[in-house]
Chain A
Amino acid sequence: MAGIKKEESKTEEKVTEVKQPRVKKNSTAIDSRCPGCGSKLTFDPKKGKWTCKYCNSEYTIEELETKYKSAASKEKNEHKHLEEDEGNYFEYNCPDCGAIIVADEQTSATFCVYCGNTAILKNKLAGKFHPTYIIPFKTDVEEAKKAFKNISKGRMFVPKDFNNEENIEKIRGIYIPFWLYNIMYTGDIVARGDDVTHWTVGRTHYTKTDTYEMQRKANMTFEKVPVDGSSRFDNDLMNSIEPFDYEGLVDYNHAYLSGFLAEKYDIDEQDSYDDAQKRVVNSGEKEILATCHHGVPRIIHNEHNNIVRDFYYVLLPVYMVNVKYMDKYYTFAMNGQTGKFVGNIPLNKAKVVIVSIITFLISFGLIELVIYLAYIWGGNK
């Protein structure tokens, strides 16, 4: 990996990896509770507000921040402490019912299996794990369920009962950690292309080929190129739900995690950068070649230089579901902002065979019919 070069005062500088201690002790589980009645608050993606189903209160982020600040000092003493586990799993005490919640190292927001309350593990999202921005969910879980239910529409090889109610109920909203990079790409390319012209004099056909060497140097900036920062999610799957509308980025606040699961990154900005760089180089080359207007350009020489101007740690909204089919798990993801649903659906092999046979017979019959009609309508002379 080339390493991240961050521009500072026109000097290319590698970002040095900052070693962070693993936080295993004294993490605190808090929930998002109604400042009025203390009941569970949930984030309504459509309203963009937190609602209390018990007292019907609605709060904006600003209102919640004001209320929570005043209660912050009290909160410190109310929560019980973490007991360290021998492995990478940790136990927390639910502030609502006191039950033990078990979560792994990457989980930063989860649910209490007894009372269903959201447990946001604040310390997991502190320090270097504190996201800069977040895109709150814009679609609710019902839309995700509907999208998953409609997955078989227009697809003839979806296995029966693949998207049944049992699987639909497994859909969960998760905030996935992403790195966003602002990268300035500079490319220096030499390409060759042929201008070909044809003309005819009498029965003689002429072809003239002019070969040009085209030298181009350009720079451009790619803004907020996303790379999934969690090793638990397939990079291709996460890439496939792109693009996110970055107009929806807001400053991070724990309260947005209410009602959803959340992960923290386990692949740092250095290791994630390689994927972003590859994409930027490919697109940068393509943009430069688009300025070469002599034939189809063939690259003879290519040099590029990438400088990371900024990078951000953000949480992006994704609905996920894991479906087991024929002893294999298939993961599906829906962009929680745009509603784009992706995933590889297993093939119903019996359907593939039947459809292939039917298609072959129908096309065979139609071709024979066409040949026969051509014969009848004059092809037999």
Chain B
Amino acid sequence: MRKIRLILITLCLLLLPITVTKAEVVTKERTAENNYGVSKKWDMTQESIEYAKKTPYVDASKKIYDFSDILTDEEEQELYNRIMPLIKEYNMEIIILTYNYPYSKDSDNSYFVSDFYDFNDFGLDFEKYDGVVLFRNTYSLDPYYDMLSFGDAQLQYYDTRMSSILDALYNDIHAGRYLAGFNKWLDKVEYYHSQSGLDNYTVDDMGYLRKKFSPHFGICAVIAGIITLIFVMVNVKKNKMVKTATQAAAYLNQETFKLLEKNDRLISSHVTSYTESSSSSGGGGHSSFGGHSGGGFSSGGGRHG
């Protein structure tokens, strides 16, 4: 009997590594000695330190962080093999993050992802920590996914583009076909990288999108032309002092004015109305949000499901 029990235990121990095919994400500890795992230029305030401590500290070289264990090792490897050449070619980070992150507001997801990106060593090789992240929140009460871009990547992957990318992924993500969904995401990343970016925007040192200074030469020339025309006409008119007299009001003897007849008659009356539309259209600009680190990022707006 003892022998049988020993054999069963031995078998269980031998089979255990075979049945658990999903490797866990390795995290490191944030301490004051390692500056709480932050190698970027952000000023670490007490508040940002607190946020950094709440953020998983990971090995930035992995690129795929499947905290929710929704991918197999093989799937992770497949995605990793596809991502690495793109990172080298595009000079920006491409990150896939899954996490079971309970949230109350949609924006909590964005802050979580931006903290994850900013408080880890992503994008250190690039000028403005450029990169994109696809985040899948597997929070059971309200699953969510979103795409964020950082640094100069915001010029290629701005809010409206990312929103359309999220729409394209919905069916796969919602149905749990994560590999297919993530591959589709990479297809979109490749596609939009080949498209022209925001020419009239730039990204500042803190990672915020800024409108480029546009001198508007045409408009300036038109306005300057109008000003010049008015100025010259006013001065030309000063040279013309002779005017044709059309009035004789100066010679009217006011005492002689007699109103002989006065009759006012209402001949028509009508009322028109219009009702204001409740909808209002927004502006056409693009903007960045600010993360807890102080750096900026753009978001696709996120989707539930």
Residues on A facing B (Cβ under 8 Å): 154-158, 184, 188, 192, 203-225, 234, 236-237, 239-240, 242-243, 276, 278-280, 282-283, 286-287, 291, 294, 341-347, 352, 355-356, 359-361, 363-364, 367-368, 371-372, 375, 379-381
Contact at A240–B263, with CB atoms within 8 Å?
no
User: In the docked arrangement, what's the CA distance between A279 and B264, Å?
Assistant: 27
Given contacts A156-B235, A222-B251, contact A236 B276 (CB under 8 A): no
Cβ-based interface call for B183 (8 A): no
A367 and B245 contact, Cβ closer than 8 Å, known pairs A210-B269, A218-B258: no
In the bound complex, do residue B239 and residue A220 qualify as a contact, i.e. CB atoms below 8 Å apart? no
Interface residues in B28-67 by Cβ distance below 8 A to A read: none
Chain B residues numbered 229-254 whose CB sits less than 8 Å from any CB in chain A: 231-232, 235-236, 238-253
Tally A-B pairs: CB < 8 A. Answer: 195
A294 touches B264 (CB 8 A): yes
A278-B245 Cα distance, complex, nearest whole Å: 10
Contact A363–B223 (Cβ < 8 Å): yes
**Which of B15-23, B169-177, B214-222 binds A?**
B214-222
| Chain A residues within 8 Å of B225, by CB | 360
Q: Which chain B positions have C-beta within 8 A of A219?
A: 256-258, 260
List, in ascending order, chain B residues with CB within 8 A of A208's CB: 269-271
Partner of B239, one of A155, A192, A236, A371: A155
Decide if B238 touches A155 in the complex (CB within 8 Å): yes
Given contacts A344-B239, A364-B221, A380-B211, contact A278 B267 (CB under 8 A): no
| Separation of A158 and B264 alpha carbons in the complex (Å) | 53
A331 (CB) vs chain B CBs: closest residue: B242
A360 to B225, CA, bound (A): 6
Contact partner of A344 (CB less than 8 A), chosen from B210, B240, B251, is B240
Contact partner of A278 among B223, B246, B265, B275, CB < 8 A?
A: B246
* Chain A residues closer than 8 Å to B267, beta-carbon distance: 192, 211-213
Quick check: A158 and B257 within 8 Å, CB to CB?
A: no
Complex contact A236–B242 (CB within 8 A): yes
Which chain B residues lie closer than 8 Å to A355 at the CB level? 231-232, 235
Contact across chains for A283 and B247 when beta carbons are under 8 A apart: yes
**Do the beta carbons of A240 and B241 come within 8 Å of each other?**
yes
A218 touches B259 (CB 8 A): yes
Q: Is the CB of B260 within 8 A of A217?
A: yes
Selected contact of A213 from candidates B223, B246, B265, CB within 8 Å? B265
Choose one: A225, A279, A346, A364; the contact of B246 (CB below 8 Å): A279
Query: In the complex, A286 Cα to B244 Cα: how many Å?
Result: 17
Give the complex CA separation of A154 and B241 in angstroms: 13
A183→B203 CA distance, assembly (Å) = 78
Give every chain B residue within 8 A of A215 (Cβ-Cβ). Answer: 261-265
Choose one: B232, B253, B257, B278; the contact of A352 (CB below 8 Å): B232
